[in-house]
Amino acid sequence: MIEWLKKTAKNQNLRIYNADVLKFDLKTLLIDKRRLRIVGNLPYNISTPLLFHLLNYASNIEDMIFMLQKEVVDRMIAVPATHDYGRLSVMLQYSCQIEKLFDVSPAAFYPPPKVESSVVQLRPFLSPPVSVRNREHFAHIVALAFSQRRKMLRNTLKSVLDAKDIKAAGIDPMARAETLRLEDFARLAEIN
Ligand SMILES: C[S@@+](CC[C@H](N)C(=O)[O-])C[C@H]1O[C@@H](n2cnc3c(N)ncnc32)[C@H](O)[C@@H]1O
């Protein structure tokens, strides 16, 4: 397939890469610093790690249009205090404006898969909706908070923040991650 594509695309304005997308450096694709537009029917089994990988290149991306498992898209756009809300929702909503475009039923494929799909558009923000001094620290706080989503913040965050710090940020130390908004996580990440 790759060899055939390479032969067919010869002399055309098309470059073909055959690589593990999770290890691929997207900056290889940049031409004249133009931001990338990425389109794909993503492998559903690696969609979460792949979305996190792509976030590392957010400043080099104009937009992304993906077909994904519907459940994953529901998690991407979830709001606080809902079952689907989690680390993926917070980290993607921090980096991108996200719009679910439409659902695709299994009947659209042959053979029909067991899962429903959705098409979603992500546009990385030029400046994020909340300000965070250190993105890695923010990501760490979010990951810790959701590591045991039924546990209270004072327990999940105890390696980095004590209950007094959490309270000082205006957040109840007995709250759970799933009730916090993006701006609450940003405030927690700003505590020294
Ligand atoms: C949902 S299919 C889409 C196939 C094709 N693009 C289409 O729309 O019909 C996902 C594709 O991703 C490929 N894939 C899976 N893991 C990958 C990885 N780590 N790196 C690159 N491609 C991968 C699979 O082999 C599969 O062809």
Max CA distance (Å), the chain: 64
CA 183 from chain center: how many Å? 17
Per-residue burial over 143-175, b if 16 or more Cβ lie within 10 Å, else e, is ebbbeeeeebbbebbeeebebebbeebebebee
Q: What is the pLDDT of residue 145?
A: 97
> Cβ neighbours of residue 4 under 8 Å, at least 6 residues apart?
none
Number of domains within the chain = 2
Shared-domain flag, residues 82 and 145: no
Test site for ligand 1: of 46, 66, 67, 68, most ligand atoms within 8 A of the Cβ: 46
Q: Residue 145: which domain range?
A: 135-189
Q: Distance from the CA of 24 to the center of ligand 1, in angstroms? A: 14
Residue 49: CATH number of its domain: 3.40.50.150
Test site for ligand 1: of 20, 41, 50, 66, most ligand atoms within 8 A of the Cβ: 41
Residue 176: CATH number of its domain: 1.10.8.100
Query: Closest ligand 1 atom, CA of 67?
Result: 1
Q: What is the pLDDT of residue 66?
A: 98
Q: What is the pLDDT of residue 8?
A: 86
Shared-domain flag, residues 6 and 39: yes
Q: Distance from the CA of 49 to the center of ligand 1, in angstroms? A: 14
Q: In sequence order, what DSSP letters do the residues of 30-93 get, joined into one string?
A: -STTPPEEEEEE--GGGHHHHHHHHHTTGGGEEEEEEEEEHHHHHHHT--TTSTT-SHHHHHHH
Q: What is the pLDDT of residue 29?
A: 93
Structural contact between residues 91 and 56, judged by C-beta atoms closer than 8 angstroms: no
Instruction: Assess if residue 25 is contained within a domain.
Output: yes
Q: What is the pLDDT of residue 149?
A: 87
Instruction: Assess if residue 69 is contained within a domain.
Output: yes
Shared-domain flag, residues 26 and 118: yes
Nearest-CA residue for ligand 1 atom 1 is 43
Q: What is the pLDDT of residue 100?
A: 98
Instruction: Assess if residue 78 is contained within a domain.
Output: yes
- Terminal-residue alpha carbon distance, the chain: 53
Shared-domain flag, residues 17 and 88: yes
Q: What is the pLDDT of residue 73?
A: 98
| Average confidence (pLDDT) per 10 residues, the chain, 192 residues | 88 89 95 94 95 96 98 98 97 98 97 96 95 95 95 96 94 97 96 80
Can you give the pTM of this predicted structure? 0.93
